[in-house]
Amino acid sequence: MGASTLISLEEYLRTSYRPDCDFVDGEVLERNAGKRRHAYAQGKIASWFDRHKDILNLASLPELRMQVRPGKIRIPDVVICELPLPDEEVFTLPPYLCVEVMSPEDTTRSMQYRLDDYLAFGVPNVWVIDPWKHCGWRVTASGWAAEPEVMRTSDGRVAMPLAEVLLP
């Protein structure tokens, strides 16, 4: 989007964007998406969790709006939630895991703002996956920890091999 015009949270929530956009203090912010490796990884991550839903008792929701604080909506590439799913269209409580799939245009700095929002919201597990470099990171308040082959949650509940969700 070009020059920004501030809008209300209510107006944002009534509006559909394609692709969907974040909302930060009255400003609608575009998200990077739409490239083949990004789309492939996002879809395969959601599928991987769907295949393991009964074992893990978790469900995947691609591009779900989360109100991380008043006046701020973030949309992770994939949200992983405990079952049963919360009964709300825009999540107001932290999910189990947020996954961000990097695009070539993403910078560590711009990504860090999003990740900080998830952590401040109370998301216990945050992952960043780079489908171009075939690597991932588990992100905590202490920083980024490389997960070169298998993405793991802090409690050990989930171990997702990157080879199963990334293009060769």
User: What average pLDDT does the chain have?
Assistant: 93
- Does residue 2 have a pLDDT over 70? no
Question: Each residue of 41-68: pLDDT tens digit?
Answer: 999 999 999 999 999 999 999 999 999 9
Joined tokens for residue 69? 């604080």
The pLDDT value recorded for residue 114 is 94
According to CATH, the superfamily of the domain at 33-164 is tt1808, chain A (3.90.1570.10)
Handedness of CA 116, 3, 107, 22 (dihedral sign): positive
Q: Is the distance from CB of 115 to CB of 109 less than 8 angstroms? A: no
Map out the domains of the chain as residue ranges.
33-164
With beta carbons less than 8 A apart as the criterion, state whether 56 and 155 touch: no
pLDDT digits (tens, 9 = 90+) for 57-100: 999 999 999 999 999 999 999 999 999 999 999 999 999 999 99
pLDDT digits (tens, 9 = 90+) for 10-35: 999 999 888 888 899 999 888 877 78
Q: What residues form DSSP beta bridges with 140? A: 143
Query: Among 54, 81, 86, 68, which residue's Cα sits nearest to residue 22?
Result: 68
The pLDDT of residue 1: 43
Q: Is the pLDDT of residue 4 over 90?
A: no
- Three-state DSSP class for 19? coil
